[in-house]
Amino acid sequence: MKITVLRSNEATTHLEPLAEILRQSVEDGALVGFVWPLSMERATAYWEDTIQSVASGERLLLGAFVDDRLVGTVQLYLSPEPNAPHRAEVYKLLVHRDFQRRGVGALLMMEVERQARQHQRSLLLLDTVEGGASERLYRRLHWQEIGKVPHHFNDPYGVPKASVYMMKHLDLTADAIAPQAEDQTAEVSAAG
């Protein structure tokens, strides 16, 4: 498996699989801002907007690839606000349903943390649905709960759900920051 930081031009070549992963995630009940049914056109439009944000430098888009097939993605919003140069937010960890429970999400999250350190971000924030697989993953990766908001969202089928806000502090010492690959590609193993 290969985890790659996708530049905007690279991401554009993967619009169809990005849209399909988003559609599958929403169909499977993911709380990522959409309701079901989600058209391919709407999913593609979302990614086109996201790619513009990547091009402006306000966020990173990471992709997980198996044999050159995009199987997962996550975003790191770099909080360009002048009073928050130390902060970033994690958005939309999505894994293709055929590759779930194989460590793809964990590897994407480990790489997003590495990228955050590379960008001198010491505080990461995210929100997730209470009781979901993502919450369990984040807890295994030592994210701390900040609080819960009851009935914060409706799931893609209209069922009210609570969200859990989480944070993680990162060590920015030289020993904690792995050198960034020149081509912004990180090879990672799916073992363990």
Relative to beta strand 185-187, strand 160-169 is unpaired
pLDDT of the residue at 79: 86
- For residues 155, 148, 118 and 60, what is the CA-based torsion angle, rounded to 10 degrees? 20
Task: List, edge to edge, every strand of the sheet that includes 59-66.
Answer: 144-154, 160-169, 123-129, 87-95, 69-77, 59-66, 2-6, 185-187
Look at residue 176 in the predicted model and tell me its pLDDT.
65
Q: Any alpha helices (H) in 82-165, and if so which ranges?
A: 104-118, 133-140
| pLDDT by residue, tens only, the chain of 192 residues | 999 999 999 999 999 999 999 999 999 999 999 999 999 999 999 999 999 999 999 999 999 999 999 999 999 999 889 999 999 999 999 999 999 999 999 999 999 999 999 999 999 999 999 999 999 999 999 999 999 999 999 999 999 999 999 999 999 986 666 654 434 444 444 333
Report the alpha-carbon distance of residue 172 to residue 8 in Å, rounded: 27
pLDDT at res. 187:
47
Q: Could you tell me the two tokens for 13?
A: 């070549």
Q: Are 125 and 87 in contact (CB under 8 A)?
A: yes
